């Protein structure tokens, strides 16, 4: 699948079907995705601050599910994994502990967004589907995975197999989102 096909078939999936994968098979797929991201993600000054914490066991998935908003909890049933994305604070966009511009840690979040984009595209290439969720209890998630204080939780990505085909929602016209001179 080329990039156009990956992007055209990737959707935010809110209903997953039973995967029929073992925990070991799920872990293997998640490791392949994260390794791809590790190798290919761009970052500020090659700082590589993105971090991934993957729940693949039924017990750990249930713990992370409980840290999601009620609205999101129902959307992750049958997921093969719930992957927490995080970044090291005060590194991307910083020099000697001081922000290089007014965005500060927004650069860490920006870098994490870039790597999360590669994550969901690689998942799609492997026949998997995803949903990126921001409504979660970051403190509870930090406790579940023992995430250090110097890291900021970004999102939780559910991974699984879509239960039904999904159409692409309407997109804004180019003229509405871009300015050319």
Which tens digit of pLDDT belongs to each residue from 131-174? 999 999 999 999 999 999 999 999 999 999 999 999 889 999 99
DSSP code of residue 47: -
- The yes-or-no verdict on residue 20 having pLDDT over 90 is no
Q: Which has the closest alpha carbon to 152: 36, 40, 49?
A: 49
**Global pTM?**
0.95
What pLDDT, in 10s, does the model give residues 38-80? 999 999 999 999 999 999 999 999 999 999 999 999 999 999 9
């Amino acid at each position: 699948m080329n990039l156009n096909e990956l992007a055209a078939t990737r959707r935010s999936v809110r209903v997953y079907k039973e995967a029929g994968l073992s925990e070991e098979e799920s872990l293997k797929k998640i490791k392949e995705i994260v390794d791809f991201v590790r190798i290919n993600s761009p970052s500020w000054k090659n700082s590589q601050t993105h971090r991934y914490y993957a729940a693949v066991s039924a017990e750990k998935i249930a713990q992370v599910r409980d840290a999601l908003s009620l609205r999101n909890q129902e959307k992750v049933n049958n997921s093969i994994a719930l992957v927490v994305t995080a970044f090291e604070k005060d590194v991307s966009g910083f020099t000697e502990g001081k922000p290089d511009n007014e965005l500060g840690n927004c650069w860490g979040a920006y870098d994490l967004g870039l790597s999360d984009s590669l994550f969901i595209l690689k998942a799609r290439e492997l026949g998997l589907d995803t949903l990126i969720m921001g409504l979660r209890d970051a403190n509870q998630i930090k406790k579940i995975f023992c995430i250090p204080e110097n890291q900021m939780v970004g999102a939780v990505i559910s991974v699984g197999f879509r239960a039904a085909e999904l159409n692409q929602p309407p997109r804004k016209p180019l003229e509405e989102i871009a300015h050319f001179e």
